[in-house]
Amino acid sequence: MALLSWSTQYSIGDDLIDTEHMELFRLVNAFHDHWQEKRDQQSIAVLLNQLIAYAEMHFQHEETIMLDAGFPKLAEHQKVHEAMVETIFKLRQSFEARDSHLEMNTMKFIKAWLLEHIIQNDYLFRDFLIHQKNSVETTAP
C-alpha cells in the first residue's frame, strides 16, 4: 500500500518541479514498501540513498528554477533545503546504525518532509508563479 499518493493539488506549475515531485513520491513509496516488508537493511539503505541523492538533485533544480524566475524568498527556501538535508543525513546515520526506533522516525520524517515541504514551502513559489503570470497577462496589450 502506498504511503503517499500524488495528486494534482501538489502541482507547483513548473513541469520539471512537478515531475521531480512525482518521482520523489514514487521513491518514498518504494522505500516505505521495502521498510514495511522488513526487507534486509542493505536493500532499504540503497533505496534511502537513492531517495536522498534524488532529493538533493531536485533541490538544486528547484533552486535554479527559482533563481531564474526571480523568486524573492529563494534564500529562505535554500535554508529550508539545507536543514532538510542535514536532518535526513542524521536519520540515515541512525538507520545505518540499526536503531530500529529511528527507522520509524525516518519514515515519519520522510512522509512529513515531502508533503509539508511542498505545501508549506513550494506553494509559496507556486503562488509567486501564478502572480507573475497574472501580472504579465494584465499588462499585455
Domain 14-133 CATH class label:
mainly alpha
Residue type, 24: L
Query: All 3 cell numbers of residue 84?
Result: 532538510
Whose CA is closest to 62, among 129, 128, 125, 127?
A: 125
pLDDT tens by residue, 1-40: 677 889 999 999 999 999 999 999 998 888 888 878 877 7
pTM summary value? 0.84
DSSP characters for 78-116?
HHHHHHHHHHHHHHHHHHHTT-HHHHHHHHHHHHHHHHH
CA-based nearest residue to 92, from 105, 73, 74? 105
